[in-house]
Amino acid sequence: MSTETRLYVESLEGCLVELGQAEAHHATHVLRLRAGAPVELFDGRGGRAQGRIAHVRRSEATVEIVERLPAAQPLLPRLHLGFAVPKGKRLDWLLEKTTELAAASLRPVVFERSVAGEDELSDHKRQRWLGHCVSAAKQCGLDMLPDLLPPVSAHDFACAASSAGWLCLVGDLSEPCLTPAQALTRRQERDVALLVGPEGGLTDAERHLLREAAFLSVRTGSTTLRIETAAVALLAACRALCE
């Protein structure tokens, strides 16, 4: 991994790239980079380039592309996480750690026992999620960001994952359930959908719905976990077992 400062940009098109407001502030006021400083850029979709700071003005910064690097490839299998939304900083932690584990997509899912209100799922709040994902990717050297998808019902998540032909797993201690290792023997090179429900648990109707959509119940232990712990445990287990 490059030792140069890594900065996120929405697009790598052109010879000069203007940093977004947050990245420009970080580069100029936190890192105190000046014109001529070498940096590495990534666009969160695999695009990478080496560059140098061309212009700095207040909280604005422009980077000159010096060399375009080979595109990064996503880690396989692609792991798609649907999750009940925890509140406050617990959600921030979930976003950071699932990004570090190279989740391909993150989608909030509304269950009958969900506790997150509409405010936590608003477009404004979800725009802030990107910042947590970018920060995590920069720290751990990832060039791919997860797709941050809008919230859906448990029904819609289940139908979409099943229709896509993915191996579908849901964290659930109810019997019968498998370990992640047992469930992943059925993957057959497919993407994997992972679903983590609310701390109040799934309702009987939701369990029936998920069984009908070919979801397999899996457990990562015998204890009841918080949403963010369950999401990271399940994602980490699947990532490790697939590599």
CATH topology of domain 5-69: Ribosomal Protein L25; Chain P (2.40.240)
> What DSSP state is assigned to residue 30?
I
CATH topology of domain 79-242: Alpha/beta knot (3.40.1280)
Domain ranges of the chain: 5-69, 79-242
Q: Residue 44 contacts by C-beta under 8 Å, 6 or more apart in sequence?
A: 8, 10, 134, 137, 143, 144, 145
Q: Residue 243 — pLDDT band, cuts 50, 70, 90? A: confident
pLDDT, averaged across the chain: 92
% pLDDT > 70, the chain? 96
Task: Please tell me the least confidently modeled range out of 1-5, 26-30, 128-132.
Answer: 1-5
With 0-12 / 13-18 / 19 or more C-beta atoms within 10 angstroms meaning exposed / middle / buried, residue 82 is: buried
- Indicate whether 3 pLDDT > 60: no
Q: What is the pTM of this model?
A: 0.91
